[in-house]
Structure 1
C-alpha cells in the first residue's frame, strides 16, 4: 500500500473545476494508474480525500495498492514547473500499529442512516445533519473499525457528560454533482472529523485505513489518516 500527498494550486481555474465535483476528482484520481486497481469490498482499494487546511493550502491524499502517477494533475491543478507529489510506502507504518497506541486522526466521511416517513414507504438512505447524530455515527463504528475515540478528562469537558470525546467536526459540506451519463443530480453530505484515538484492534484498524470507513468512498469519503498525537 502507498500513501500519496499532492498540493493543489487553488489559484488555477482548472484546479477549481476539478475540486468542484467529486465525480471529476474521482476520474482524475483513477486516471493516475496505468492499470486501475481492482475495487473489492473485502480488499484494499483506492481511497482519496481533500484537505482544506487554509485558503491557500489544499491537499489531495490518496491511499492505493499501487503507486499513482499524478503528472496530469500537476499539469491541470498544480505547479507544472516546480510542483510535485510525494508517495510513501505505507506498509512499514501499518505494520507498526499496536494495541494501546494513541494517534491524532482525520477522517472525511458520509454519515448516513436508513429512514422512512411512514410504515408504507420503503426505507432510504438519509444523511445525518445534526452534530450529535454525526458524532454518534462515528462512535457506533469505532469498535469494529479497530479504535476507540479518546475521552476527555472531566475538567476539560465544556458541558460535562455531553462534550466527552476528543473529537471535533471541523468541516461539513453538501456537494451536488452529476455522475457521468446521468442527468439526475447526486447530493452528497460530507463531514470531516479531527480527533484522537486509541488503537484497540491493530488488524481491524489496518483494514479501516486501507479499505475506508462508511459509504461514498469513490467520492472522497472514507479515508482516515493518522499522525503523531
Structure 2
C-alpha cells in the first residue's frame, strides 16, 4: 500500500476549472494509475480532500504507486509525495490510542418492501452523523475514547467532533439539466483499536459509502 499527497493548485484557474465536481477528482485519481488502466486491472483508490492553512491537499491510499507526473496534473509543482504504507499498518496494535481523521458519507437505508431495493438517505443533523460513526466504530474494530479534550468540542464525553460538513457536487447530468450533490462529513478525534485485523482492513478498504468520490478514507496518528 502507498499513501500519496499533493497540494491542489487552487491558484491556477486554467487547471482548476476542470475540478468543479467530485467526479472530476475521481477521474484525476484514476488516471494517475496508467498501468492499471492499460492492464485492465483497476484497483480501489481511497482518497479525500484535506484543507490546511488555506491550502487544499489531495490524499490517496492505493495498492500501487501512482504515476507522479499524472498525479501532478492539477497539483502545485514539486508537491507530490508518495510513501510506502505497509510498515505503518503492520506497526499498529490492539489497545493503541490514535488521533484520527475521517471524511465520510453518513447514510441510512429504508426498507421498501419485498423484492424492492432499499432507499438510501443521508444523515443530515450533527447528532445523527455522530451516532452514525459510533455505530460504525464497533463493527470497524475501534471505539471512540471517552475523555475530555481541550482541542475537541466534547459534547457527549466522547473525544471526537465533526470539523466540516458540506454538500459538494457529485457530478452533473447535463442531459437532464440537473446537478447531483452528496453529503460529506469530516470527523476528527481519538480512538482506541479493539480488533487490529478488522481495523487494519477498514484503513485499507474505507468506511461507509461513496468511496470512489472521496469518502471513507480514515488516517490515524499514534498518540505518544
2:213 maps to which residue? 219
Which of 131, 153, 161 aligns to 1:168? It is 161
Q: How does 1:10-29 map to 2 (within 5 A)?
A: 10-29=10-29
Q: Report how far residue 158 of structure 1 moved.
A: 7.4
User: Does the 8 Å CA contact 2:46/2:212 hold for their aligned counterparts?
Assistant: yes
Q: Deviations over 1:59-116 (max 9, x none)?
A: 111000000013134243322xxx2311111100101110110110000000011248
User: Does the 8 Å CA contact 1:151/1:165 hold for their aligned counterparts?
Assistant: yes
Structure 2 length-normalised TM: 0.86
Distance 1:22 1:107, change over 3 A: same
Distance 1:102 1:73, change over 3 A: same
Q: How does 1:133-148 map to 2 (within 5 A)?
A: 133-148=128-143
Q: How many pairs were matched up?
A: 216
Distance 1:54 1:182, change over 3 A: farther
What runs of 5+ residues in structure 2 fail to find an aligned partner? none
Q: Report how far residue 34 of structure 1 moved.
A: 1.8
Structure 1 length-normalised TM: 0.84
What runs of 5+ residues in structure 1 fail to find an aligned partner? 40-44
User: Does the 8 Å CA contact 1:14/1:76 hold for their aligned counterparts?
Assistant: no
RMSD: 2.8
1:46 maps to which residue? 45
CA distance in 2: counterparts of 1:206 and 1:54, whole angstroms? 29
SS of alignment partner, residue 35 of structure 1: helix
